[in-house]
């Protein structure tokens, strides 16, 4: 590759345009917490696969073992894993997922373990070495965008570039990059694969041409070790952070800092959102989300009770995973900010009304105080009730929930309160409709049944309705015509009721457990609810 010329002026002119602006009406909420590892462990690294179908997680020493685990990257159900026996001086310090392959590489001590994310099979153990290089501890890993090469940062201040599938001969790595004077904590490829950035304990960020090993820029500004580097989606902007509690946004052409963001504590990891102008910063006990063009903090995601040290965005931009020293990996989900969505699940429904009803009469600042007057009262209740469904009728509401957690007497009191406080007639009418729904709430079904999916035939998605005569643990399994299991939908413990509407029926997107669309043909779906089991047929037509 020829040495490239960077146009500083062009970079400055395009900086403000390099990503789609962040929608104003969105926020991130805790979606799921992964805690099923056992023991007192630290989550050192997390990485989504380029397809988004898998989430790879690595831990430190735990009862003489290191845990390398793979989860479904969309449902976050555990798929497979492997425990590596080691001593207390080795941890899984880095993980990277390879594009185009079901493969994750875990850095453990001086070697790399390659793991098949789909089958769980162990692929190979590599010792990335090169003439003149050392075999010091691996601290960082990053696959090139095309998956052909793997960059490795080690404890000796070196960056090694190896084949993506691992060298057959442990002494046949491709290239050794020298220049750092202390350990390399982070490596990152630009989106075009033509530049490699590395951050080191020596306080510098270095830019390399990976094709010839030339170190063509040294970015200085951090006063302490650099723990993380990350490129923007278009490869025009680089971010770095470290133990000086700052994040620096660099113009790589002028080798100068465009902007400095002050963080809460050490910066342990950085990731740019794949679609929006958001920079994720992990450290302290949570994740900070920033607008890199202005340095403004968009949102802070707390929740960890100890150091948070790793993060990654799902390729779709919908999820964010963060791991830390509190024995958890937290999955955050981006949802629209909706007025009256008091429980922050991305929709305004009966559950929001229930939340307000439970807080009725309480004072102080709380999400159920939707008009922000420091009291949850009839005005909040009627506002949310109207937002749930301005024109709901008693039969419709009765089908939405099995049992409402308030009585007709309580609703009658709310109606009286509304009249005393001069609530508008529409609000009072809404409460009267709610009272009618409670008085005429449907009885639970007399028998459990699996109903016909709709639409059928379908492409690419379908809904599977059913009804439960009593509470039960519910699963729906989908099989191909040859009997092979395609997908399992674990719906959890559900109360008795009718699950027929789209927001209540089981949903299948026409994909298997690996997130791949299935072929046209006949499929069978089986409902299991306690001792009940039934099977029906459906057809995918493409």
pLDDT of residue 286: 92
Q: How far is CA 149 from CA 23, 123, 193, 391, 430, in A?
A: 35, 17, 9, 59, 62
What are 410's two structure tokens?
A: 């309580």
DSSP codes of every residue in 358-403: HTTT-BSS-TT-TT-SSB--HHHHHHHHHHH-TT--HHHHHHH-S-
Q: What angle (nearest 5°) sits at the alpha carbon of residue 307, between those of residues 301 and 313?
A: 45
Exposed/middle/buried for 31, CB within 10 Å: 0-12, 13-18, 19+?
Answer: middle
What are 360's two structure tokens?
A: 């009725």
pLDDT of residue 25: 67
Q: CA 503 to CA 458: how far, in whole Å? A: 18
pLDDT of residue 400: 44
Is residue 466 within 8 Å of 505, Cβ to Cβ?
A: yes
Q: Look at the chain and count its residues.
A: 542
Question: Dihedral angle at the C-alpha atoms of 366, 368, 370, 374, nearest 10 degrees?
Answer: -40
Q: What residues of the chain score a pLDDT lower than 50?
A: 1-24, 391-402
pLDDT of residue 89: 54
pLDDT tens digits along 366-402: 989 999 999 998 888 888 887 876 544 333 444 444 4
pLDDT of residue 411: 82
Give this prediction's pTM: 0.67
Question: Cα-atom radius of gyration of the chain, to the nearest Å?
Answer: 27
């Amino acid at each position: 590759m020829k040495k490239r010329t960077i146009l500083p002026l062009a970079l400055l002119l395009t900086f403000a345009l390099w990503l789609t602006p962040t929608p104003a009406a969105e926020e991130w909420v805790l979606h799921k917490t992964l805690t099923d590892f056992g023991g007192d462990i630290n989550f050192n690294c997390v990485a989504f696969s380029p397809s988004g179908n898998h989430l790879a997680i690595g831990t430190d020493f735990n009862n003489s073992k290191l845990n390398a685990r793979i989860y479904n990257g969309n449902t976050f159900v555990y798929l497979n894993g492997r425990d590596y026996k080691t001593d207390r001086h080795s941890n899984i310090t880095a993980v990277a997922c390879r594009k185009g392959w079901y493969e994750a590489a875990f850095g453990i001590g001086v070697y790399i373990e390659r793991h098949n994310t789909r089958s769980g099979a162990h692929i190979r153990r590599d010792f990335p070495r090169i003439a003149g290089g050392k075999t010091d501890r691996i601290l960082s890993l990053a696959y090139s965008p095309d998956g052909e090469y793997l960059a490795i940062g080690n404890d000796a201040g070196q960056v090694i570039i190896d084949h993506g599938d691992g060298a057959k001969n442990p002494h046949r790595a491709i290239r050794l990059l020298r220049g750092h004077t202390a350990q390399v904590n982070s490596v990152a490829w630009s989106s075009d694969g033509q530049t490699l950035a590395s951050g080191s304990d020596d306080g510098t960020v270095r830019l390399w041409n990976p094709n010839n090993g030339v170190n063509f820029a040294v970015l200085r500004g951090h006063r302490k070790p650099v723990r993380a580097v990350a490129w923007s989606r278009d490869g025009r902007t680089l971010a770095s952070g470290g133990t000086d509690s700052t994040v620096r946004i660099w113009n790589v052409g002028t080798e100068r800092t465009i902007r400095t963001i002050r963080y809460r504590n050490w910066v342990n990891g950085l990731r740019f959102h794949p679609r929006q102008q958001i920079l994720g910063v992990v450290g302290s006990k949570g994740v900070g989300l920033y607008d890199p063009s202005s340095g403004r903090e968009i949102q802070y995601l707390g929740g960890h009770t100890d150091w948070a040290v790793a993060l990654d965005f799902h390729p779709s931009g919908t999820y964010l995973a963060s791991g830390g020293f509190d024995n958890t990996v937290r999955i955050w989900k981006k949802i629209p900010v909706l007025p009256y969505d008091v429980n922050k699940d991305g929709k305004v429904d009966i559950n929001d009304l229930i939340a307000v009803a439970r807080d009725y009469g309480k004072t102080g600042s709380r999400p159920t105080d939707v008009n922000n007057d420091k009291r949850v009262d009839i005005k909040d209740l009627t506002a949310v009730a109207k937002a749930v469904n301005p024109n709901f009728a008693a039969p419709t509401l009765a089908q939405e929930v099995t049992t409402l957690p308030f009585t007709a007497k309580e609703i009658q009191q709310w109606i009286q309160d509304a009249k005393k406080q001069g609530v508008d007639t529409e609000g009072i009418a809404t409460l009267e409709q709610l009272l009618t729904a409670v008085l005429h709430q449907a009885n639970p079904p007399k028998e459990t049944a699996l109903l016909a999916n709709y639409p059928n035939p379908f492409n690419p998605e379908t809904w599977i309705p059913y009804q439960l005569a009593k509470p039960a643990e519910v699963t729906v399994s989908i099989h191909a015509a040859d009997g092979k299991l395609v997908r399992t939908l674990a719906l959890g413990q559900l109360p008795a009721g009718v699950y027929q509407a789209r927001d209540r029926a089981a949903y299948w997107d026409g994909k298997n457990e690996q997130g791949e669309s299935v072929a046209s043909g006949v499929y069978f779906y089986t409902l299991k609810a306690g001792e009940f089991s039934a099977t029906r047929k459906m057809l995918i037509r493409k």
